[in-house]
Each structure stands twice: as C-alpha cells, then as structure tokens.
Amino acid sequence: MQSDERERRAPRAEQPVDLIAAARAAQLSAAPFKEPGAIKLIAPAKVNLFLDIGERRADGYHEAVSIMHALTLRDVLHMSVAPQRAGGLDIDLACVAHGGLPPLDVPTERNIVSKAVRALARRIGRNEAEVVTVRLEKHIPSEAGLGGGSSDAAAALAGAAYMWGLASDDPRIEEVARELGADVAFFLHGGCACFDGVGDAFMHELEPMGAYAVVVKPEAGVSTAEAYRAFDVRPERIAGADRERALAARRACDVPLRNNLASASESLVPLLAEVRAWMEAQDGVDCALMSGSGSAVFAPCRSFQDASLVAAEAHARGWWARATMFGPVRAGIVPSGAGRSATAR
Ligand SMILES: C[C@](O)(CO)[C@H](O)COP(=O)(O)OP(=O)(O)OC[C@H]1O[C@@H](n2ccc(N)nc2=O)[C@H](O)[C@@H]1O
Ligand SMILES: Nc1ncnc2c1ncn2[C@@H]1O[C@H](COP(=O)(O)OP(=O)(O)OP(=O)(O)O)[C@@H](O)[C@H]1O
C-alpha cells in the first residue's frame, strides 16, 4: 500500500492500557547502585510525531515547531553528592551501555550530563567543594534522533536540583535546560507536548496516547548538525493544512505524522529510506517516520505483539530495534517508596 493512501495518523491502542503501571515497570533497573543517599532517575527517549523546521536564524539555529512524545524506553541514572576537603565541583561519571549498544565514547567532561550539572551549579552560584557521582545506564542509542543525551541532561538537572535543595519548579532549571540544547526542555515536561522557537519553547501539552511503538535504528547514526546543514541545501516545507492540523491537535493520536528533516537525513544515510519503506511493509504498521534528525525510524503499532514481531525481524537484519510504548513520563527522580511516580505525568 502507498503510504499516502493510508491514514497517516497514530492509531489508538487496541485496548485501554495502564500507562502509569507500564511506565513504572519500565523503570526497573537491572543493576542496583549501592552508594548511600543515591537517587535514581529515569531519562526517557522521545520521538517527534511532527517536526516542521523553518528558517535558519542568524545564530545558525533553525525555527522549529516540534510535537514530541516520550517513550517508556529510557536511560537510567543514579546520582549522589558528597563533600570533599578542597577544590570545587568534581564529577565522577561512569557510563555502561546496555542492550547491545556500543559503549558511549565521550569523555566525562564532554558528556552532556557533566555539562548539565556544572551549568546548574554556575547558574545558582554554587561553589561547594563536592563530588557529584553519576552512574549512567545507556539504553537509548546515540545519534538516533531519540534525544538520549538531551534526556540524560534533563534528568541530571532534576537530580542535581533535588540534591542541592532547589524547588523542582525553580525557573533556573528550565533556563539551563534551554541553554544545553534544543530538546532538553521537553524532557523536563515529558508526556506529549508542542514546542516552538528552536524546539525549546513550550507551547501546549497534548493528551498522551496509549499506543505501542516499534523503533528501529540501523548502525549508521546521523549528526544533528549535519542533518540541519543538509536541510539548508534543499529545504522542504510541510503543507499548510498539515501544519494547521498539527497545531490544532490536543490529543497525540490526532497529530499528523510528518518530519521535513527526513529527506535531509536520508540524503546523508540513504539506508534510512529503505528502513522506513521496509517498516511500512510490515504487518501491523500503517506509517513509519524518522524521529528528529534520525537515524531511528519509529512506527506506532496497535498491539505489543505487532511491535515485537517487527522489532525481532529488524533485529534479524542487523538493526537495533525495540518494541516500546508511548508514555506519560518525563525525566526525573524515581521515588524509592510506593505511591505515584514523580516521573509519571
Ligand atoms: C532534531 C531535533 O532532535 C528535533 O527534536 C532537535 O531539533 C535537535 O535538538 P538537539 O539535539 O537538542 O540539538 P542541539 O544540541 O541544540 O543542536 C545541535 C545542532 O543542531 C542544529 N540545530 C538544532 C536545533 C535547531 N532548532 N536548529 C538547528 O540548526 C545546530 O547546528 C546545532 O548546533
Ligand atoms: N549522555 C550522553 N548520551 C548520548 N550522547 C551523548 C551524551 N553526552 C554527550 N553525547 C554526545 O552527543 C551526541 C548526540 O547525542 P544524542 O544521543 O542526544 O543525539 P540524538 O539521538 O541525535 O538526539 P537528538 O534527538 O536530541 O538530536 C553523541 O554522538 C555523543 O557524542
């Protein structure tokens, strides 16, 4: 079937799903972290249901209208803070890759988690001699358009703010988030939300959906900056009617699935167009779309079985793949006791 013959919208779930229970189940970590006083945080992935990149601004960034939805696929962080005798802020960061991902080859000071902790300390004028220890479990592939690094940064901001006694709604947290990267502020919000500006300015939230999804990423990644450069060579616009529908939607399931950065990334990694076509040919998939700047491609699915079967087939082709869910989750602390999760919206 041609993709434009289909109803290019996310399907509703085949049955009601307890989203909070599913999100909490996805928060279970494999490896306990024994540091006294440590807090545990989740950093969910996102997909862009709708991404309309506009003009390039004088600072090199592009105008963007972006409707993002959090997934229950997530990284996990454990954080603690301890005083030290002398010096200022030290960061002790260890990162472990899970689920067949290659190790994240980024030195501690260039990891966006360290940048986030240091930026928040500067912003609030904190000058204590202390060590912030972070154990980061990576489950979200990098250079995938799934916002893994951005979500880790948002979780690290939430964790540092908590450990340093800041109110969770202290406006300086969001200010720092927006300085770190266009996607970071979304993860403080989570669920499903529409952002404009350069994709960093909150406009409104949408009712999250209880659908399943399959996410597939071939080995090649896409650098976000390169995707935007390729976009400038041949900019594409989204039809006005689709833009109006996207801006009018108040439920995630009503958002038309569009991404005008996809052709640019597909010009850099031609395999991406093949992955998308392959996914759309699978049973249980109506429409597949590249997320953000790629290279991950996602498809909403009506059942977990459909999503799992596509993930298994993709895996057999040598691609990283996961069956997951859209979720009302955000980057934040997982409470150790019972009760409503701080990270469930
Ligand atoms: C593609 C998306 O993921 C869609 O949600 C975002 O637009 C990218 O968000 P991000 O990864 O947080 O991006 P940043 O780390 O802020 O920027 C990386 C690079 O992408 C380009 N960039 C990013 C966002 C934007 N609105 N315009 C841009 O031109 C810039 O060259 C920038 O140097
Ligand atoms: N904690 C981190 N996790 C992942 N990547 C990180 C991290 N810290 C720094 N990086 C660097 O950032 C680059 C892109 O990270 P990220 O995974 O967020 O990209 P992305 O999937 O394209 O996300 P986005 O959707 O925000 O564009 C990586 O290639 C890596 O070098």
Q: What is the ipTM of this complex?
A: 0.96
Domain membership flag for residue 180? yes
- H/E element, 122: helix 112-124
pLDDT at 90: 97
Residue 13 confidence (pLDDT): 45
Query: Has residue 325 been placed in a domain?
Result: yes
Q: Counting atoms of ligand 1 from 1, which one is nearest the CA of 51?
A: 4
State the distance from the centre of ligand 2 to the C-alpha of 258, rounded, in angstroms: 22
Domain range holding 111?
A: 3-334
In a domain? residue 344: no
pLDDT digits (tens, 9 = 90+) for 213-251: 999 999 999 999 999 999 999 999 999 999 999 999 999
Per-residue confidence (pLDDT) for residue 3, from 0 to 100: 41
Which ligand approaches the C-alpha of residue 151 most closely? 2
pLDDT > 70 fraction of the chain, expressed in percent and rounded: 87
Atom of ligand 2 nearest to the CA of 138: 3
Higher pLDDT, 105 or 341: 105
Model confidence pLDDT, tens digit, residues 68-87? 999 999 999 999 999 998 88
CA 45 to CA 328: how far, in whole Å?
Answer: 12
Give Cα separations from 107 to 93, 150, 224 (angstroms): 9, 16, 19
284 has binding-site annotation: no
pLDDT digits (tens, 9 = 90+) for 297-309: 999 999 999 999 9
Q: Enter the pTM of the model.
A: 0.90
183 among known catalytic residues: yes
141 marked among binding-site residues: yes
Tokens encoding 310:
């596509």
Tell me whether residue 341 is in a domain: no
Give helix 271-280 / helix 304-316 axis angle, nearest 10°. Answer: 140
Looking at residue 37, what is its pLDDT? 80
Both ends of the chain: CA-CA distance in Å? 37
> pLDDT digits over 141-192, tens only?
999 999 999 999 999 999 999 999 999 999 999 999 999 999 999 999 999 9
**Between residues 16 and 244, which one has the greater pLDDT?**
244
Whether 116 is covered by a domain: the verdict is yes
Q: Per residue in 245-282, pLDDT tens?
A: 999 999 999 999 999 999 999 999 999 999 999 999 99
Q: In this structure, what CATH number is given to the domain that contains residue 34?
A: 3.30.230.10
Structural domain contains residue 340: no
* pLDDT at residue 335 in the model: 81
Q: Which ligand does the CA of 199 lie closest to?
A: 1
Q: What is the mean pLDDT of residues 123-136?
A: 97
- With respect to residue 190, please indicate whether it lies within any of the assigned structural domains: yes
CA of 44 to the centre of ligand 2 (A): 13
Q: What is the DSSP letter of 10?
A: P
Query: How many structural domains is the chain composed of?
Result: 1
Whether the predicted pLDDT of 341 surpasses 70: no
Residue of the nearest CA to atom 4 in ligand 2? 149
For β-strands 39-56 and 258-259, DSSP reports them as: parallel
Cα distance between residue 328 and residue 222, in whole Å? 27
336 — pLDDT class (breaks 50, 70, 90): confident
Among this protein's residues, is 90 annotated catalytic? Answer: no
In a domain, 194, yes or no: yes
